[in-house]
Structure 1
């Protein structure tokens, strides 16, 4: 069993308040959950209204599948107009 764990630091330039930030993040998180077989949640920077850190994880028996899933999530987030990826890193355990 392999576990892929990834953190993604985001900049949400269009958010003018914490309420806006939650709206943007909720939309992105729900679309990722429905499209990909991963677990995802906001794990840091909850008090900042234009920054967020998302935690993403997936489990598989093949390393290639874990790499593909996490790369697909990154590509999906990059395609969103409302957020910008500042940094991301992942590891496979």
Structure 2
């Protein structure tokens, strides 16, 4: 069994409060959960209103499959357009 882990830092445009930020982040998290079989959550910068850190993970028996899934999720999040991805850290255990 192999586990893929990824964290992403997001800079969120055009938000003026934590409430607006949480709306954007929650929307992204729910869309990833419904489209991919992955665990995802906001894991950092929870009190900063223009930045967020999200983390997600996948489990598989194939390194190739994990790499493909993580990259698909990353590209899906990057295409959102409401924020800029400033840092990505990926690890397969």
- Per the alignment, in what secondary structure is the counterpart of residue 65 of structure 2? helix
C-alpha contact (below 8 Å) 1:41/1:55 kept by paired residues: yes
Matches for 1:1-93 after TM superposition, within 5 Å: 1-93=1-93
- Per the alignment, in what secondary structure is the counterpart of residue 75 of structure 2? helix
- Per the alignment, in what secondary structure is the counterpart of residue 71 of structure 1? helix
Q: CA RMSD in A?
A: 0.6
Give the TM-score normalised by the residue count of structure 1: 0.97
TM-fit CA distance, 1:90: 0.6
Q: How many residues align?
A: 93
TM-fit CA distance, 1:83: 1.3
TM-fit CA distance, 1:73: 0.8
Structure 1 runs of 4+ with >3 Å offset: none
Give the TM-score normalised by the residue count of structure 2: 0.97
Q: Deviations over 1:59-86 (max 9, x none)?
A: 0000011101110111011111111100
Q: Whole-Å Cα distance in 1 between the matches of residues 14 and 61 of structure 2? A: 39
Instruction: Point out where structure 1 has 5 or more consecutive residues left out of the alignment.
Output: none
Q: Deviations over 1:9-57 (max 9, x none)?
A: 0000121100000000111100000001110000010000000000110
Instruction: Point out where structure 2 has 5 or more consecutive residues left out of the alignment.
Output: none
- Per the alignment, in what secondary structure is the counterpart of residue 29 of structure 2? helix
